[in-house]
């Protein structure tokens, strides 16, 4: 029996509504479409329809991933939804997704490491399968940030969009799959990116709404400095542990925070000449969905090929960092 665990299928779901820079510039004070593109590299993003929530996006991506893996929903043993914008405080959004898919035999839970959630979820999925060989985990990243934007704050409002990405995780042939994952958290930097109200410390009230406490707040420059300081050492540690050199990486799939930052990050990691997955130009920053959407895009475009080394790198509020290294393919064991 194989001990290798990897990705058997990928999928993504993007809402139909496309929001371009001209539309946003008309809403946000002192902002132009040219400024948004120059500062972020983003031309458009998607916003969920009024009747769409995180579970709807997650289910759409999950169906695509299951189809790609050649599995039906009744073959899923666990559903993990990585999100910080779930349908509601409880029940878990994963429970709603289970019902939408008809995956009644799956145990379900949500995981919140914000934009780093997918890589954290990949480690959780690996652990579940390690203790239950033969299991299948449906791992989904889904966020609907358009509901939490302050359109008077151009630093954050221009960056974020909605979407979902999903993978099916299971046993693969030896030598393939997940080669290593490195996770870290810097709680001392938690104030760099936050939504202040809506939890047990500051429950929703007329006052929190009036004060804008349910909007996302971000210290953009400090976040970029955190990423450039903390991601490269984590990548170096991960690659060294796997005995892999940076120049051997065949595809780099970073969190799609903004195009300017991820290009600088690739250079700092010694990956300037490595194929870099960039979907931020058309989808914006989709939170925990960012890495799986990028991975699905790379697979379908042929950037990720069987036997290739794929580096995933994600970072989010908390501040959380997750890097993962995979050898692609191998098929189900």
Q: Which of 78, 285, 297, 323 is catalytic?
A: 285
The CA distance from 262 to 268, in Å, is: 10
Structure token digits, residue 236:
């170096």
> Could you tell me the CA-to-CA distances from 263 to 112, 260, 275, 278 in Å, in that order?
26, 6, 11, 9
Active-site residue, 269 included? no
Q: How many CA atoms lie within 13 A of 50 on its CB side?
A: 0
Q: 163 — phi, psi (to 5°)?
A: 175, 175
Catalytic residue among 255, 258, 269, 297: 255
Which two three-digit tokens encode residue 45?
A: 């993003």
3-state secondary structure (DSSP) of residue 76: coil
CA distance 166 to 122: 11
Tell me the C-alpha distance between 280 and 268, whole Å.
19
User: Quick one: 142 exposed, middle or buried, by C-beta within 10 A (0-12, 13-18, 19+)?
Assistant: buried
Is 215 considered catalytic here? no
Cβ count within 10 A of residue 131: 7
End-to-end Cα spacing for the chain: 8
Catalytic residue among 78, 82, 112, 115: 115
- Say how far apart CA 216 and CA 162 lie, in whole Å: 14
The residues that are catalytic are 115, 255, 285
């Amino acid at each position: 029996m194989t001990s290798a665990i990897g990705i058997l299928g990928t999928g993504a779901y993007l809402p139909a509504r496309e929001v371009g820079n001209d539309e946003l510039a008309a809403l946000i004070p002192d902002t132009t479409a040219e400024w948004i593109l120059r500062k972020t590299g983003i031309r458009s993003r998607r916003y969920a329809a009024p009747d769409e929530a995180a579970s709807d996006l997650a289910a759409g991506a999950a169906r695509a991933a299951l189809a790609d893996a050649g599995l039906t929903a009744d073959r899923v043993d666990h559903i993990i939804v990585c999100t910080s914008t779930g349908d509601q405080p409880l029940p878990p959004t994963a429970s709603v997704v289970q019902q939408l898919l008809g995956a009644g035999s799956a145990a379900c839970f949500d995981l919140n490491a914000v934009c780093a959630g997918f890589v954290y979820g990949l480690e959780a999925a690996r652990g579940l399968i390690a203790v239950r060989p033969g299991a299948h985990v449906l791992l989904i990243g889904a966020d609907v940030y358009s509901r939490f934007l302050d359109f008077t704050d151009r630093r954050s409002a221009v960056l974020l969009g909605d979407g979902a990405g999903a993978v099916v995780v299971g046993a693969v042939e030896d030598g393939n799959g997940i080669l290593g994952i490195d996770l870290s958290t810097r709680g001392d930097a938690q104030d760099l990116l936050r939504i202040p109200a809506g939890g047990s410390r500051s429950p929703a009230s007329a006052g929190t709404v009036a004060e804008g406490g349910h909007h996302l707040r971000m210290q953009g420059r400090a976040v970029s400095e955190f990423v450039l300081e903390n991601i490269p050492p984590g990548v170096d540690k991960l690659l060294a542990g796997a005995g892999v050199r940076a120049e051997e990486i065949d595809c780099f799939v970073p969190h799609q925070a903004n195009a300017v930052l991820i290009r600088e990050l690739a250079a700092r990691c010694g990956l300037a000449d490595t194929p870099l997955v960039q979907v931020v130009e058309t989808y914006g920053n989709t939170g925990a969905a960012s890495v799986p959407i990028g991975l699905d895009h790379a697979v379908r475009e042929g950037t990720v090929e069987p036997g290739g080394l794929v580096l995933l790198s994600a970072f989010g509020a908390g501040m959380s960092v997750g890097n993962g290294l995979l050898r692609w393919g191998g098929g189900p064991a």
